[in-house]
Structure 1
């Protein structure tokens, strides 16, 4: 587009040059930024045509080599040692970067922005960061790259090749030449003559629109893409020549070698054989650029929403889980940091501890609500966007603008994703520095008084960190500061780098607590969705410009739809929770829950006390939220809390009948039905039903629904009384599994009357058990998140976190997994039987 001082609002600025022609764009740009090189149309056309000819010449050669020799190349490359591969790579590219994403490494280590000659020194790092030894020395990466570039034409990679330069461009380590009033065509070209063709705006009726919508390229941008592709294609041809060294280069494409079928090269899996989103993301730069997969976005967000609902359910149902969440939240609060004088925070002193626990309890409640709200909204929009994309599929063309309804929906979804990311980013800011692994490196500034909620944290001086700690902290700080560095690097890249570091450096596992790992998992899911939208080329290049005219409407919509989020935060501030804190403070073992022990009268009474304390806590939370926010009608939280599904509670102890044979030295034990007493999840939002008991560990007995009143007509302390309709008990099904899996499921669906000593479950055994049913495919997402997708039927998904940092699932966690599987699929312990050999 035109770069005139008047258009930029700079016509009144004194640029210090009296004879400067303000209508001469070249002179203006040179005065405004003297580092920008100016080019003429003739220079650009000459360079573009030469590079385009070389690109297509190398492409034809590479294609002809692959259709004859690709199977041989794959076999030879995989058999070579690391040293042999390295020699071939360095012979073809002598100064190849050593590390993965060398642009990111250079940016972090040396030059945040261009400084003198450093920009030229790292030019290839920023232009072609995928060309590095760490990645290409892996057995299949070069083979993927050869296949993608040799069997697909160069224009198909233009958008992706430009996007990968983002860090170099915004940090000014790559500076495109400037040529005004022209556009360069890369998208949609089909031969060397059309690829890189330069059009003046007056020469082509669409040239100006190409710039406005970013469907094509500025001349300087186009030249950078052509330069990168020219280097890359020459490198790949040279690699083939070295691998097939015994065949003269001129004979590689001769007809004496017949055309062969394309060999299969499957990757994207973890070393244990399961699909992995991390591996797929690492391979993406070496494949044909992916198309927008809205179905995948929808499924990932849907599974995460299900996990958020299960979390809300578990903190209300399971005292052990609630206690675990309280302790985790408490251990990541900045009040635990000593101040610069070595003193503890005032709220930790006995007289003020109620305020501290009010903050902890409020955080646990708020987070459980917010997760449901955020992922419900994202899932709803992903569903709507997929349907719109299907509706307009026939009208979508790379040469046309997107239909307005679809473009608005994409921009709106993208805005919500960026706003949703602020939650995990803020949680990292507050949680990392105070987490047990990092607490020794940070201190607080003393607060002005004991009631202040303002906490200022600074890094402790004189404490040395290891290189890995420095690297990990830089990445985490870049995320939570959400400043210029994150703008430069962009969220998907920095999250991928964090995931890669956690995967490849064992020491980092000790530096990331389980809570922080879960936060990183949420951030990774959100950034994956953003990255998927950014793949939607060529339109993704114009998202920012398209947002300008629509931003006000999208922001207004966001404020209205998220109004409840602010209301719930206000309701659960510590000043409203002084009485609730008394019920939630884990003193006197009030939430001790020895579920793993065999049932005795004493044991049952302890279970019931913990459940009663938990019910009292959440009833108090409900009263506070109801008083501040009302019935929550229309919210995702209200939808969960009002479901006609009951939480399980321990039934009263009943002495067993006297036995003729006395068992020595054992208390009488009754085989309890573990799910035969039910209570509502919330007595305010669903009402207080009559107690339902039964002899089966399944669904309560159906009852006829009575006429009910709107709960809004009741006070928060006088909930409505209703009797729910419930579904009849489903027909029992049997799933045959092997002995290894049966042992896992007996722990997940533990019955203290059958199994006397439940133990930990190996994560690998859990993966094996879930997939050995034949019902699920397992896939590793980001961080500690794994997703299990049903292979048949509704293809629903469920997510679980891999235990961190050990690969063992504690019994209390395994039991919660069992309850989640029960709610999702109706499974119970008797569902699984030993498969006949």
Structure 2
């Protein structure tokens, strides 16, 4: 059965490649000239059963009974092949799919297609054959790809070092299980037949018997539309991946993503330490997303202490994790330089190479663990998300998942008597997909990319868009980056498997950086004295009003409160993060520290009153009737120096006896690279995230 399908696949693919090499320019022009309706008509002419909407397999799982899913098997086999996705965007996505699948051998897409099948298999939409003690080769050309190996059979019997079927499947991951491999061949055969049918329909008037290949065209560029939330870049990149070349391992792609997050971590910490308004914004966001705020009887000192502790620890933890990730990538590049052509396929990796790359597993695991825990809290207590009244209160004490919903319960002795649950709401799709990220089993089933894709589409509705708070959007953004890095790492062949659990992996592989990352992994009680310095957050707001000596004194008071907070915070951070991480934070923030603002120098000077000369003195020979004296008061110059926060300036005009209020610009040092005023935490990240993804593309 496998040999029959693979031979049919190879014949169809060879035919498709020859046509595309000879006539791709004509195909592209004719396809783009068609309207979306006519493109759909061509697709339906080839396959009348094509799904009409994007991600139709999602609807099959949410709405249909399990017994009915087998009838929609093709929806699960090829979820990205539907009328909506292949006809929109001026047809570019279809052309990208055609270019990639026609000019690259099917084995290059084997693991991508296998991973795509995972959801359908787990959801019951795809049933597979089972072959005992055998595997299917997932790489190579027509002589090897799709070949069935028994576990005891070597890939090359003439080579005693050649791996056998068991090693190919379980260690090197150069083979798939027989059931998965056979289904992948079936999927690729169906897709190739569809593409071949479409191009022959487009070229009905062209002689396709004698084909002369031309130079291949560049891959069509599929634009990523503008996004409001930075995490949507990750969502849309994942949604477009089926229409592009297959994902491959590239350490530079991981490096770009980690560098971007490291830069954000540095900028975030620098803003916290130099901008009172930015500090107040983040304190407010973290406070609103504390679970304890859902109950009016929570002690304020407890909530405020946890707010400050978590905000500071997050800032330093992410700085540490991304710093270590950058170092690991740098060290791996040194080892990788010894393998200019890459490691050999179907061979064990050298220990040096494998150990250097395996260090990425625990650091990405730590990042994902921290982001996941942050999402548990922010999603469950987000004021924006629960603005529709979905919160119910109960008396429980731990975090559990139940058929009726998600129960949040505090385990802290100081706040143990209160607990909350979000009721299950099948009609609320946004809520449903956000809760999938709270449950490891559901996240594994649906996959992060698929969940992000659904969230992206749902938040196109303004009402749903408003329910994603900036803090949740920031967490989703980091989750998207981490998931992308893990996907790139997982595409390495031969495979680099993480055999240890996360604590063991951290202990075994990150010993070199333990002084840097070790302290932030541990729990420490918040400092009540520090919370007293942070609240009320109105203390960090510069005053509005007339720019006089009183105004300057109030601005100086804000600076004094800000300095006192960080003096207390430094004592807490040294204890919480350790000397090495605290020193790293001091080092990266140092270039952004500016001299304190001299507020008294910004006080508007008193404007002298000038008396105009008598009219008669303006006439050379006099004789004009003398009028009353005219007094004129020139307006004071408007000074707008950069300062460390937002302060209101009032320029007084005695001519009309009215005060006009204007605001000092929010200080943003030169490192901000053109970012605008941040009215919400992390919102400045939105303008640069897309550029990093464009580099990856």
The yes-or-no answer on 1:136 pairing with 2:86 is: yes
Determine the structure 1 residue equivalent to 2:415.
Answer: 452
State the Cα distance separating 1:55 from its structure 2 match.
0.9
Q: Cα deviations across residues 84-110 of structure 1 (Å, max 9, x unaligned)? A: 111221222222223333344434444
Q: Where does 1:171-210 land on structure 2 (aligned, <5 Å)?
A: 171-189=123-141, 191=142, 194-201=144-151, 203-204=153-154, 205=157, 206-208=163-165, 209-210=167-168
Say if 2:196 is the partner of 1:237.
yes
Q: Separation in 2 of the partners of 1:333 and 1:296?
A: 35
1:473 aligns with 2:431: yes
SS class of match (2:176): coil
Aligned to 1:312: 269
1:377 corresponds in structure 2 to 324
Q: What are the residue-to-residue correspondences of 1:758-769 with 2, within 5 Å?
A: none
> Kindly tell me: are residues 609 and 490 of structure 1, through their superposed partners in 2, closer, same or farther at Cα, counting changes over 3 Å?
same
TM-score (norm. length: structure 1): 0.66
Aligned residues of 1:103 and 1:167 also touching (Cα < 8 A): no
1:717 aligns with none
Distance 1:414 1:599, change over 3 A: farther
Q: Does 1:606 align with 2:606?
A: no
Aligned to 1:158: 110
Q: Secondary structure at the residue paired with 2:565?
A: helix
Contact 1:269 1:276 in 2 (8 A): no
For 2:685 and 2:82, the matched residues in 1 are separated by 24
Deviation at 1:438, TM superposition (A): 2.2
Distance 1:413 1:513 in 2: 30
What is aligned with 1:219? 178
The answer as to 2:5 corresponding to 1:51 is: yes
CA–CA distance in structure 1, aligned partners of residues 357 and 453 of structure 2: 23
Where 2:540 maps in the other structure, the secondary structure is coil
The Cα shift of 1:553 comes to 5.1
- Give CA deviations for 1:506-553 in whole Å, capped at 9, x if unaligned: 4321111111111111111111111221232x434xx44x62699945
Cα distance in 2 for residues equivalent to 1:228 and 1:91: 20
Q: Secondary structure at the match of 1:444?
A: strand
The answer on 1:332 being equivalent to 2:289 is yes
Tell me, in whole angstroms, the C-alpha distance in 1 between the residues paired with 2:312 and 2:472: 18
Residue 576 of structure 2 is aligned to residue 619 of structure 1: no
Mapping of residues 46-445 of structure 1, within 5 Å: 47-110=1-64, 115=66, 117-138=67-88, 139-189=91-141, 191=142, 194-201=144-151, 203-204=153-154, 205=157, 206-208=163-165, 209-212=167-170, 213-247=172-206, 251=207, 253-255=208-210, 259-264=213-218, 266-271=220-225, 279-337=236-294, 344-347=295-298, 352-439=299-386, 440-445=389-394
Rounded to whole Å, the distance in 1 between the matches of 2:185 and 2:525 is 56
C-alpha displacement of 1:585: 0.8
Q: Is the 8 A contact 1:608 1:649 kept in 2?
A: no
Q: Can you give the 5+ residue segments of structure 1 that lack an aligned partner in the other structure?
A: 1-46, 338-343, 678-746, 762-768, 772-780, 798-837
TM value normalised by structure 2: 0.78
Secondary structure of the 1:459 match is strand
Assess if the C-alpha contact under 8 Å between 1:517 and 1:783 holds in 2: no
Tell me: CA distance 1:788–1:499, structure 2 relative to 1, closer, same or farther (3 Å): closer
How far, CA to CA, are the matches of 2:504 and 2:385 in structure 1?
A: 41
1:79–1:516 distance in 2 versus 1, CA, 3 Å:
same
The alignment partner of 1:289 has SS state of coil
Alpha carbons of 1:305 and 1:194: their partners in 2 closer, same or farther (altered >3 Å)? closer
Q: Are the aligned partners of 1:182 and 1:219 in contact in 2 as well (CA < 8 Å)?
A: yes
Q: Does the 8 Å contact 1:408/1:550 carry over to 2?
A: no
Q: Are 1:358 and 1:580, in contact at CA under 8 Å, matched by a contact in 2?
A: yes
Q: How far apart, in 1, do the equivalents of 2:368 and 2:235 lie?
A: 19
Distance 1:782 1:278 in 2: 19
Q: CA deviation at 1:619?
A: 1.0
Maintained 8 Å contact 1:501/1:508 = yes
Three-state SS of the structure 1 residue aligned to 2:136 is strand
Distance 1:89 1:759 in 2: 59
State the SS of the aligned residue for 1:98: coil
Matched, 1:786 2:688: yes
**Which secondary structure state, in structure 2, belongs to the residue aligned with residue 130 of structure 1?**
coil
Answer whether contact 1:499 1:783 (CA < 8 A) is retained. no
Counterpart of 1:526 in structure 2 is: 482
Task: Say which SS state the counterpart of residue 392 (structure 1) adopts.
Answer: coil
Q: Distance in 2 between matches of 1:565 and 1:203?
A: 45
Deviation at residue 796 of structure 1 after TM alignment: 12
Contact kept in structure 2, 1:67 and 1:259, CA below 8 Å: yes
Name the residue aligned to 2:160. Answer: none
Per-residue CA distance 1:431-464 (angstroms, 9 max, x = gap): 1232222222113335789931575321258xx7
Counterpart pick for 2:494 among 539, 545, 567: 539
Q: Deviations over 1:478-520 (max 9, x none)?
A: 1122x21112233344334434543x44432111111111111
Could you tell me how far 1:293 is from its partner in structure 2?
A: 2.4
In 1, Cα distance between equivalents of 2:213 and 2:581: 66
Whether the 8 Å CA contact 1:295–1:386 is kept in 2: the answer is no
Q: Quick check: 1:495–1:523 contact (8 Å CA) kept in 2?
A: no
More off after superposition, 353-362 vs 203-212:
203-212
Q: How does 1:640-651 map to 2 (within 5 A)?
A: 640=588, 643=590, 646-651=593-598
In structure 2, do the counterparts of structure 1 residues 106 and 564 end up closer, same or farther at CA, with 3 Å as the change threshold?
farther
Moved more, 148-157 or 226-235: 148-157
CA distance in 2 between partners of 1:435 and 1:226 (Å): 45
The 3 A distance-change label for structure 1 pair 633 and 182 is: closer
Distance 2:521 2:499 in 1: 29
Q: Distance in 2 between matches of 1:758 and 1:194?
A: 70
Q: 1:435 to 1:585 in 2, by over 3 A?
A: same
Contact in 2 for aligned 1:524/1:783 (Cα 8 Å): no
Provide the rounded CA distance (Å) in 2 between the counterparts of 1:325 and 1:395: 45
SS at match of 2:130: coil
Deviations 1:81-140 (A, max 9, x none): 2221112212222222233333444344446xxx4x445223222222222223112221
Structure 2 Cα separation of the partners of residues 201 and 458 of structure 1: 49
Q: Secondary structure at the match of 2:194?
A: helix
Structure 1's 617 and 534: CA in aligned 2 closer, same or farther, altered over 3 A? same
Is the 1:568–1:625 Cα contact (8 Å) retained in structure 2? no
Give the CA RMSD over aligned residues.
4.1
After superposition, the C-alpha distances for 1:244-282 in whole angstroms (9 at most, x for unaligned) are 3445xxx4x223x65444444542424469996655433
> Partner of 2:348: helix, strand, or coil?
coil
Aligned residues: 623
Which residue in 2 is equivalent to 1:14? none
Shift in alpha-carbon separation, 1:582–1:236, aligned structure 2, 3 A: same
Corresponding residue SS for 1:183: strand
Question: Are the counterparts in 2 of residues 428 and 476 from structure 1 also a CA contact under 8 Å?
Answer: no
Mapped to 1, the partners of 2:418 and 2:517 lie a distance apart of: 23
Larger RCO (CA within 8 A; separation ≥ 6):
2
1:329 and 1:672 map into 2 onto residues whose CA distance is 32
Aligned to 1:512: 468
Contact 1:184 1:219 in 2 (8 A): yes
Closer, same or farther: CA 443–669 of 1 in aligned 2, 3 Å: farther
d(CA) in 2 for partners of 1:633, 1:436: 33
> Kindly tell me: are residues 456 and 390 of structure 1, through their superposed partners in 2, closer, same or farther at Cα, counting changes over 3 Å?
farther
SS in 1 for 2:688: strand
